Amino acid sequence: MNGVETGRSTDAESLADAQPRQLIVTIYGLYAREEPNWLPIASVVRLMADLGVDGQAVRSSISRLKRRDTLHSLRIDGTAGYALSPSTLQVMRAGDRRIFEQRRASVADGWVQVVFTVPEAERGKRHELRTRLTRLGFGPVAPGVWLAPGSLADEVSDVLARQQLAGYVDIFRSQYLGYAELAGRVRDWWDLDDLAGKYARFVSHYRPLNRRLARSVPTGADAFADYVRMLTAWRRLRYLDPGLPPEVLPARWNGDVASRLFGELSVVLRPAAHRHAMRVIHE
């Protein structure tokens, strides 16, 4: 899928309440790359209608995505549509691994540490660095020092280079050799209670759907709407969770419960959602 930042919901407590542009990015991440990398605007409007979003909101959101260089206008055989920008395609390939394949790190993986110094005259870059690191799941250890599991070393290196921020940072691989218990220090660096709360809300919202699917599997627009909204909520969660080692997480970590639930829902919903989307796109 993708890790493209498209603006967070104004209601951070409701992971299912996605903004239209977030849903559009999910649709492009799922289906545009098969077309290849293009969807007609009429199809996007129809698919968004299945999600309860009207055409005016769709066009306004697409305009914002164009300004962010997420989408580019492209007319094929006289049909107006949009393609993902090259940089967005690159981000999405990395996002696929984060969203669908993320594994928990182990303590043996060590840590990746980002240290940055930004001149006061360029404090906007400092804000951008903090924002990028937060979106990758890094935790702040000290001013200008951020930490994540070692498994994220390649990802953070690629992201900072792509965003032209590499000149402000040094990146290190490290092992924890401190005196305090590591699990306690991790709680200082990451707000695990907040993350657990977000996972709990995901489970609370989507577990009833999983029970309904055991009795009756939706088809067509219903399956499409359920899957796109669920996946949009999930990818936002995955970019808050760096995949911390189980050894430093609370017992019975509910992120694992949420991950199993996402997998179960995907197995049922994804094929039916794909069939509906392809039917709309090719009509």
pLDDT of residue 14: 52
Convert the pLDDT of each residue in 173-185 to its tens digit: 999 998 999 999 9
Q: What is the CATH number of domain 111-174?
A: 3.30.70
Let me know if 108 is exposed, middle or buried by CB neighbors in 10 A (0-12, 13-18, 19+).
exposed
Rg (CA), the chain: 20
Let me know if 144 is exposed, middle or buried by CB neighbors in 10 A (0-12, 13-18, 19+).
middle
CA end-to-end distance (rounded Å), the chain = 24
CA dist list (Å): 132 to 85, 165, 172, 206, 271: 19, 10, 17, 28, 33
Neighbours of 157 (CB within 10 A): 15
For residue 97, what are the contacts with CB-CB under 8 A and spacing of at least 6?
Answer: none
Which residue type sits at 25? V
Backbone angles phi and psi of 93, in degrees to 5: -60, -40
Convert the pLDDT of each residue in 188-237 to its tens digit: 999 999 999 999 999 999 999 999 999 998 899 999 999 999 999 999 99
Q: What is the side-by-side order of every strand in the sheet holding 139-142? A: 139-142, 145-149, 111-116, 169-174
pLDDT of residue 11: 34
pLDDT of residue 5: 43
Kindly list the domain boundaries of the chain, sorted by start residue: 111-174, 191-273
Q: Could you state, in chain order, the average pLDDT of each consecutive group of 10 residues for the chain (283 residues)?
A: 45 60 96 89 97 95 96 95 94 87 88 94 92 94 96 93 92 94 95 96 96 92 97 93 94 93 96 96 91
